A and B are shown apart, each in its own frame.
Chain A
Amino acid sequence: MPDESYRRFLDPTVVSKLATMELRARLVVEGFVTGLHRSPYKGFSVEFAEHRQYMPGDPLKHIDWKVYGKTDRFYVKEYEEETNLRGHVLLDASASMGYASEGISKFEYGRYLAAAIIYLMLKQQDSVGLLVFDEVIREFIPPRSNPRQLHILLSELERAEPAAETEIGVVLHELARRVRRRGLVLLISDLLDDPENVLPGLKHFRHLKHEVIVFHVLDPREARFGFDTDATFRDMETGELMTTEPFSIRGDYVEAVERWMNLLRRECAESRIDYMPVLTSTPYDRALFSYLEKRKRLG
């Protein structure tokens, strides 16, 4: 497949049309990696485990006899040094994540992003786990790096659907208590909870020396409140109703959203948490790049 064709799989809408989660994850990552070679971020590289021809001096124990059996040639199976990185992908599956003004919902965006990251991490021989939550932890799969882990995690992502209210703070504290070993925590959520609850949870991870990346997923209309006519709004989580004139309050709304995001950004920065706001229309490479940058820093 030409390079350019892979790039289109960074478009969330295109990805949503692919058949399986694995395919989605793989094509997103392929597209991303292809882009890396052409991008200004060329300094980054992704190390994959691979085979190479046996060279004199190589320890014999590294010869892959299965390959020899098939090809009659000596290949050495190269293993990168086993990483200590354990990744936890936390996916918010609350009802508010189901919101979609157009294109795909925040939840869909989030799970494709999670799938791509999981794929990428496993390819890098990292171990990765998954936590799907709403007001409670709905599913927790501890991190592993074995080949089956990809299928397990992607299947879980496939099954998950948004429902119930958000209680991010509670969930983060709960996870922090469970995960004792240091690692990387990737939170994919719309963070539509009280920052007073969200931030302590994130800081809890930092306190435990985890590295944290927050992918703050928002729908473009959520961010800009792009409604034209008077409307009655129904809260997707609580079912509450409120009638207003969007035209008149748009300015104040956008201001309030920005204030909220600035608070999150500032607090995250203070706690050395990577805060990455993304819209559901944002190509996946931005988020993946953010992850890689973090990964690199972690060595």
Chain B
Amino acid sequence: MGLTFLNGAFLVAALVALVPVVIHLISRRRVETVDFSSLRFLKELERKRIRRVRLRQILLLIVRSLILLSVALALARPTIRGPLAGAAGARARTSMAIVLDESASMGRSLEGVPLFDEAARICRGVAGLLDEGDQAFLVTASDPPRDVLPEGTFSRDALVEAVTGLGVTSSATDYAGAVAEAARLLDGARNLNRELYVIGDLQRTGWGVGGAGAAAPSTEEPPGAGGTGEPVRGYVVPVSGPTGNLGVASVEAGRKYGGTPGLFSITAEVRNRGARRVDVPVKLFVDGVQVGQAGAVLEPGGAAVATLATTVDETRWHSGWVELPPDALEIDNRRHFVIPPATRTEVLVVRAAGDEPRDDAYYVSRALDPSGTGERFSPVQIDAVSLGSQEDGRFPVAVLGDVGRLDSSGENWIVRHVEGGGGLLLVFGSRTDLRYWNADLLPRLVGTRLKTTLDRPSGARLAPVGLGHPLLDGLVFGERLIDDVTVRRGFEIETGVDGARAPEDILEIPGVGPMLVLGRTERSGEVGVILTGIDPAWSDLPQSGFLVPLIHRLVAHLEGARARGEGALVGQDLVVPLDGGAVGRVDVELPGGGTAIAELGAGGGRASIDAAETPGVYRFLVDGREAALGVVNVDPRESDLAALDPDDLGERVPGVAFRTLDASGSLEGEIVEARRGRELWRVLVYIALVLIAMEMLLARPRGA
């Protein structure tokens, strides 16, 4: 037999039973002293009557406290279950919120049955318990969580239909967010009895557990803490599947410079989430055709990087994927990438005011277009003062050649340009107003500040540590550049600034400091900073054979950042630059068939698809012409199939006492048993009425 309280919050109200005692004590303290002619008769009564009065007072106190206690307990709706409850128990109207996991990890199968199908079956079973007056909400544990029934439903059929309408998705998991959302819905629910169901594989990463990138716990406030503050009964139904899994965590396509035209290096990071050491083939597909394969040996819980290469026609877009053999979870075995065309690009070169004919902007322009034909890059030179009036989205890359400072319109243009995905190359030199750049723009764009001008010893060389950078592919022989560079003066990076750059993005000169910084903030264009002026007074870059390939590759890299991108993860907005821009409608061919219409942004220079749901390659068409490709991949967090121990759920969702139900058992029985039983509130009301009658009898004035 068990005793539970359907409205447990009212148990606190039981404290009101102390009110009569408190009033009694207070009134005792406040008794007035009255002069009276004689206590003769009172003394006579003392022997019998007054003692009876005291006894009656105590009895009244007890009875009044019991009345309040009975009412408070009745409101708390105590329910007994078990033999004493009898066969026909009362039913308490309930509001339930079901968190159903439809994330990608639910796509794996156990004994031929997909986990999601099993979860949906359980969910329908719970839906079957919906009775008259019961209310139900349905929230998916995908990232982001989705209210399937935002207003809730009182219909069993509607709930079953909603569950049936769901299917496994390619999304990551966010249990924490889904439970928080369910709690919010329950706070506004109609019925006081509230139940929260969590049905799914309980993937750790969805609870904010499992290392970097895992969903942060979002249930800071326990369910029931807001709104009416009613406690919630929690049920968790784990739907388990195999946890050993391989997945492609990332893929990057990088142009190989200095070799065969159109040669690209494809780097894939592969992770083993299983407990066994595996040796797997990593296959590379470009434009639907397998073009390469590499082997990867993965220790349990380990990762490996597979590097493959492909040659493509650089005049058009290409897409591809890296693929692992089938395993428990197939959706993360394939990761897509795109290779943008190397088209003729207009580069905005901004020069400082002045009449110096051969300044940094001059050398950059010459380096970009040495032959003057504009075959690959076509530099467009302007003065810094006219920067603010330039058209947004026209130039994939802008270069500022030793510009001391910008006016506010120029500053705004630069920020819009980078935030819009454009590349930016900053060349600092003698005109640079370091205080101006350090104040806001550099920390904002690159994530660092620069120190004061540094006189470097003559003959400084680029450091070997920087020579491995992809930008220098083909420009390094052994540990030497194709041509020596002597740097005379430069700037240093100030460390300790928020978002300090990773070392691989900094090319250093030994004993002197970094020469080049590459910075990139999430979902924006990339920014490069050359820390020495392209000026004979600062370095011999103008005379060096290294200048042309360095500037070419830097600009191509900064341009490629815009085009290449990492695409988007499932559930995120996919944003792509459009070759040549667009004015009218942009159609999108979706992966797996079907089309959509993209939204245009940034003056027609970009197009986007909101909350892309399907992983794969999205083909953006302007007037039937392929204007861009974009990729959407599965969130790598989803590859970690380890589950949270249901017993640890209490820590993740404070305020809810979870019971773990066996998916293979009779869930309905356990839930019904918890929900139903013999309610004792009527008995308590009768007791209260009897006590009230007693109170009236006891409190009746005697001979007044």
Contacts and interface: CB of A to CB of B under 8 A. Distances in A.
Q: Which 8 pairs of residues, A with B, have the shortest CB-CB distance? A: A251-B703, A99-B37, A96-B37, A233-B36, A235-B39, A192-B38, A248-B53, A251-B702
Interface of A: 96-99, 106, 190, 192, 219, 222, 227, 229-238, 240-245, 247-257, 260
Interface stretch (B42-50, B109-117, B161-169, B239-247): B42-50
B42 A244 contact: yes
Contacts of A255: 703
B12 interface: no
A83 B228 CA distance: 94
B701 interface: yes
Contacts of B34: 227, 231-234
| Interface secondary structure of A, over-half rule | mixed
A256 B33 CA distance: 23
Q: Assign chain B's interface to a size class.
A: 20 to 34
A114 B50 CA distance: 38
Contacts of B27: 230
A230 B702 contact: no
B101 to A, nearest CB: 66
Nearest to A105: B37
A61 to B, nearest CB: 56
Given A230-B27, A244-B50, A250-B704, A106 B41 contact: no
B702 A233 contact: no
Given A250-B701, A252-B49, A256-B44, 17 more contacts: A96-B37, A192-B38, A230-B27, A233-B36, A233-B39, A234-B35, A235-B38, A236-B38, A237-B38, A242-B42, A248-B702, A249-B50, A249-B53, A252-B703, A253-B41, A253-B42, A255-B703
A229 B31 CA distance: 8
B57 interface: yes
21 contacts: A98-B37, A190-B37, A192-B40, A222-B36, A227-B34, A230-B27, A231-B31, A231-B34, A232-B31, A233-B35, A234-B35, A235-B38, A241-B33, A244-B46, A247-B704, A249-B42, A250-B703, A251-B701, A251-B702, A253-B41, A253-B42
Contacts of A238: 39
A240 B56 CA distance: 24
Interface in B45-92: 45-46, 49-50, 53, 56-57
Contact of A242 (B46, B49, B701, B703): B46
A245 B33 CA distance: 12
A256 B704 contact: no
Contacts of B701: 247-248, 250-251
B498 interface: no
B462 to A, nearest CB: 98
A243 B40 contact: no
Contacts of A97: 37
Given A252-B45, A256-B45, A245 B57 contact: yes
B645 interface: no
Interface in B1-46: 27-28, 31-46
Contact of B33 (A232, A247, A248): A232
Contacts of B36: 99, 222, 233-236
Contact of B37 (A236, A240, A245, A252): A236
A253 B44 CA distance: 9
Contact of B41 (A229, A232, A241, A256): A256
B28 to A, nearest CB: 8
Nearest to A250: B704
Most buried by A among B42, B56, B57, B701: B42
A242 B701 CA distance: 20
A229 B32 CA distance: 9
B104 to A, nearest CB: 74
A189 to B, nearest CB: 12
